[in-house]
A and B are shown apart, each in its own frame.
Chain A
């Protein structure tokens, strides 16, 4: 990642202050009251993998989140834990704990050996829970807090006659605690602003880590919090630089784009196997993965221009996808390989990939309306009103009519005033993709009739889906949308009206930095806005968040 390498080099030379001095401060905002945000399924899984290793299996289901301001992450800020949901979390916690202390894993994960495997060992248990609890709760545990799982472990070891069973019981307890399941904004008086509060350093670390990595803070970040470094611009910036250069950034960005593109919908995607015999659950999985790989490669690995996602011919191909794209794939092992479509190929940009085309279609046919709506809402942040409740669609679906193509059928919608307003927003751009069928395969005709893919996006004409991609690339709503979504994702709520100046600032910097997502991430991550909280009940931290230094 070029930008990060550059920044790291600058830091190494001790010129960070000079660099920061060149950047314009983000406008101040009031922030919202401290939040109590439920971990998402992906965050839960990432934390388990980071802490115990990828070999630990996480099974079970999570309560569904409600998409808010285009993001499930925002919905998580007001999500509840239902009885059935906690039952699942309890089940998962016990399963994970059992795997952690299994003979296969205990020697690697548990940092001590008990005096006897058949009896309690408080010292060993305390050592384990002190270390693990710090990572799960994203802050050090107090001595009293450590005593809780230690006591559980002791009692359970006595009842069950096994130290490791006791350890598993204590660990399961930590993993169903709200201190683990919720990211809690703990606050403290702001020494620089008498009468006001601020996030304590650990809450800052958690907010930053969930934003950039979609997981809990690592040891270095928690240590920086402990030392009070996150309360200094220099210390915060150093951690942000480190995190942006980390391989974990990929997981973080995957989570963001998965959320922004509503790729959770893949969970219920299915195609008719008679109409689309080449499409399968494996294809669907690979289609999602292909798009995420394309995005990560362009915006993280290559540190490229976000807008190029709509025109890029570079992607990655798997064997199952090759059959849908009808291109040769030279990986007999079924793995991924870089692929670039030729100049002039109809495939260019995310909108022409199988993921987008298939996800926003019906099981047996394409849907210009669903595709157009997804572009407007997910990529341009424009709200399409809900359809009216009293329209008889069959009026313009007479099979004896000459309407063979989707364009013919949808044009008929414009004859109904109640429909016309919204369909004018969705259908023209959706129709640009009509030469890609409901499974993402290219086609030239529909029902024997040629397909017309011409149209315009907000006045910019195009001839086909690739042309729509070019129009998207130049549309100012595209970068504006990703800025809004990124900031909303970071703070876990919908931006307030009074944050428009801040968003304008981020947007301006984003453009000035060549629309590089890494720069946008950096800009948000080092801003005061990400950590701003307004006056509300103060949640005292269990442990001091470290020294104060606002320099």
Chain B
């Protein structure tokens, strides 16, 4: 085996130069956070503020007839019904997409799985664990040119790291950050460089780490030629992961530009009430953890730590429960008898309401952070989706989707978009196009589409 020795003398020389001063200013590469004086664009180029993308997932859909009032034509105004009433004050930030279908071409509807896979990958799975293509968040992340510390941040408020609906393939899925404490530590722990601190002193250990990874990467390249095609791809993914960490380290060695939007949240451990927070699927716990994690995530975006993120509020089988109740949210959707007067399953409806309340909290969290002459949400697109329309019968046609944010002025908001039975992939295609991906079609078989939802484009 041929071994290549570390080849980073220039970096080491640079580091040694950097280390000469106690607090130094280093010539920086272009960073998105440099704003013009009006805070509306990047000073260096006049380009608009960066647009970020995030997904928000919830399990078990809606209570039909009690969530969003149906419309026959796309147009402004969304009639939020009782289940979604918390979203009503946020109408100006939101689009609702109803009446889009999920044709499977004879493939099975793997319950609570097919729905999210198809809407996020554009392809229907052929088994109950297949992820046939990368999820749209990763396609968007791949297209982001300016590096951030994290390519994506995957989070969940249900306390289970496995509950992450972002993946490149069946066997290529990261664990989600599943506790507020761990999320905080990862983003704002010792390796976070505060852009608003006056002094900046590069940590020599960061340079050492980069040299280590460079050496490992060089040494391991020899393996590549000796692997089969599938394994070579896996090794390439490994190298991609190495490069991602190297990018992180590069950013840690540069003084970030001051960033008014970035207000580092206080450590969670500082607040006694939030120490040792309970985790689990009891609905109040999920909601409380989600609220804290939303704040951390929003500030991670504001502080330019990532441009793409995923939040799973509830899992696809929504195992959320209330204390003392024998039925989980999922069991209720199947086994609770609908109330004859109300016309729906009242306890399942309760969980659905809590879920939509949480979505409102999430959106509001981003809308509350000033950025430029607007808010962080104005420079974002949040894709909020579920896996089923009516969980009681596992229906996937008409599965509801929301988007939130104006994507830096590229999206209109406040619209109710009527799908008329078109494939759900139209929403994903439009979202990716708005995020700047140069694609004109997406999806496979009957989920294939080349029809942008032009009504939402600004």
> B-contacting residues of A (Cβ < 8 Å)?
33-36, 61-67, 75, 78-88, 90, 94, 142, 144-145, 147-148, 151-152, 155-156, 159-160, 165, 169-170, 172-173, 176-179, 181, 184, 267-268, 270, 272-275, 362-365, 386-387, 389-394, 397-399, 536-540, 542
Q: With A86-B238, A169-B208 given, is the CB distance from A393 to B5 under 8 Å?
A: no
Q: Is B284 an interface residue (CB 8 A)?
A: no
Query: Judging by beta carbons under 8 Å apart, are B215 and A173 in contact?
Result: yes
**In whole Å, how far is B289's beta carbon from the nearest beta carbon of chain A?**
14
A20 to B326, CA, bound (A): 57
Query: Judging by beta carbons under 8 Å apart, are B231 and A36 in contact?
Result: yes
**In whole Å, how far is A378's beta carbon from the nearest beta carbon of chain B?**
16
Which of B110, B211, B248 is within 8 Å of A386, CB to CB? B110
Which of B1, B215, B321, B325 is within 8 Å of A151, CB to CB? B215
Residues of A within 8 A of B280 (CB): 270
Query: Judging by beta carbons under 8 Å apart, are A145 and B3 in contact?
Result: yes
Q: How many residues of B contact A (CB 8 A)?
A: 83
Q: Is B338 an interface residue (CB 8 A)?
A: yes
**In whole Å, how far is A509's beta carbon from the nearest beta carbon of chain B?**
33
Query: Judging by beta carbons under 8 Å apart, are B160 and A178 in contact?
Result: no
Q: Give me 8 A-to-B residue pairs in the complex whose CB atoms sit less than 8 angstroms apart, sorted by A's number.
A: A36-B234, A64-B173, A84-B154, A90-B209, A152-B208, A177-B216, A365-B326, A389-B111
**In whole Å, how far is A366's beta carbon from the nearest beta carbon of chain B?**
10
Among A80, A159, A270, max chain B CB count under 10 A is at A80
A538 to B216, CA, bound (A): 22
A97 nearest in chain B by CB position: B212
Residues of B within 8 A of A142 (CB): 1, 3
Query: Judging by beta carbons under 8 Å apart, are B6 and A159 in contact?
Result: no
Query: Judging by beta carbons under 8 Å apart, are B336 and A389 in contact?
Result: no
A161 nearest in chain B by CB position: B204
Q: Using a CB-CB cutoff of 8 Å, which residues 215-235 of chain B contact chain A?
A: 215-216, 219-220, 223, 226-228, 230-231, 234-235
**In whole Å, how far is B125's beta carbon from the nearest beta carbon of chain A?**
11
Query: Judging by beta carbons under 8 Å apart, are B223 and A362 in contact?
Result: no
Residues of A within 8 A of B220 (CB): 177-179
Q: With A82-B173, A142-B3, A386-B111 given, is the CB distance from A394 to B345 under 8 Å?
A: yes
B225 nearest in chain A by CB position: A537
Give the 7 A-B residue pairs with the shortest CB-CB distance, closest first.
Answer: A389-B109, A364-B326, A274-B324, A86-B241, A393-B334, A144-B3, A80-B172
Residues of B within 8 A of A67 (CB): 129
Supply 11 further A-B pairs (C-beta < 8 A) apart from A80-B171, A90-B209, A178-B235.
A67-B129, A81-B241, A144-B5, A145-B1, A151-B215, A173-B215, A363-B319, A386-B128, A389-B111, A394-B345, A397-B337
Query: Judging by beta carbons under 8 Å apart, are A155 and B109 in contact?
Result: no
- Listed stretches B71-79, B260-268, B388-396; interface member: B388-396
Residues of B within 8 A of A90 (CB): 209, 213, 245
Query: Judging by beta carbons under 8 Å apart, are B171 and A78 in contact?
Result: yes
Query: Judging by beta carbons under 8 Å apart, are A83 and B245 in contact?
Result: yes
A76 nearest in chain B by CB position: B171
Majority secondary structure, A binding face: loop
A81 nearest in chain B by CB position: B238
Residues of B within 8 A of A399 (CB): 337
Query: Judging by beta carbons under 8 Å apart, are B171 and A538 in contact?
Result: no
A539 to B114, CA, bound (A): 39
Query: Judging by beta carbons under 8 Å apart, are A389 and B16 in contact?
Result: no
A78 to B86, CA, bound (A): 44
Query: Judging by beta carbons under 8 Å apart, are B393 and A391 in contact?
Result: yes
Which of A62, A268, A389, A539 is within 8 Å of B160, CB to CB? A268
Q: With A159-B16, A362-B331, A364-B327 given, is the CB distance from A152 to B212 under 8 Å?
A: yes
Query: Judging by beta carbons under 8 Å apart, are A83 and B241 in contact?
Result: yes
A87 nearest in chain B by CB position: B245
A426 to B420, CA, bound (A): 40
0/1 string, B72-91, CB within 8 A of A gives 1: 00000000000000000000
Q: Using a CB-CB cutoff of 8 Å, which residues 265-302 of chain B contact chain A?
A: 280-281
B226 nearest in chain A by CB position: A539
Q: Is B152 an interface residue (CB 8 A)?
A: yes
**In whole Å, how far is A149's beta carbon from the nearest beta carbon of chain B?**
8
A536 nearest in chain B by CB position: B228
Q: Is B411 an interface residue (CB 8 A)?
A: no
Residues of A within 8 A of B19 (CB): 159
**In whole Å, how far is A361's beta carbon from the nearest beta carbon of chain B?**
10
Q: Using a CB-CB cutoff of 8 Å, which residues 174-190 of chain B contact chain A?
A: 174-175
Q: With A152-B212, A169-B212, A275-B324 given, is the CB distance from A81 to B237 under 8 Å?
A: yes
Residues of A within 8 A of B160 (CB): 267-268
A403 to B328, CA, bound (A): 19
Residues of A within 8 A of B161 (CB): 61, 64
Q: Is B168 an interface residue (CB 8 A)?
A: yes
Query: Judging by beta carbons under 8 Å apart, are B204 and A159 in contact?
Result: yes
Residues of A within 8 A of B170 (CB): 66, 78
Query: Judging by beta carbons under 8 Å apart, are B328 and A363 in contact?
Result: yes
Q: With A94-B209, A142-B3, A148-B219 given, is the CB distance from A362 to B328 under 8 Å?
A: yes
Which of A61, A86, A155 is within 8 Å of B211, CB to CB? A155
Which of A86, A177, A386 is within 8 Å of B244, CB to CB? A86
Residues of B within 8 A of A82 (CB): 168, 172-174, 237, 241
**In whole Å, how far is A89's beta carbon from the nearest beta carbon of chain B?**
9
Residues of A within 8 A of B450 (CB): none
Q: Is B162 an interface residue (CB 8 A)?
A: yes
Query: Judging by beta carbons under 8 Å apart, are A393 and B335 in contact?
Result: yes
A484 to B111, CA, bound (A): 28
Among B241, B245, B280, max chain A CB count under 10 A is at B241
Q: Is B45 an interface residue (CB 8 A)?
A: no
Q: Is B15 an interface residue (CB 8 A)?
A: yes
A366 nearest in chain B by CB position: B326
Residues of B within 8 A of A151 (CB): 5-6, 215
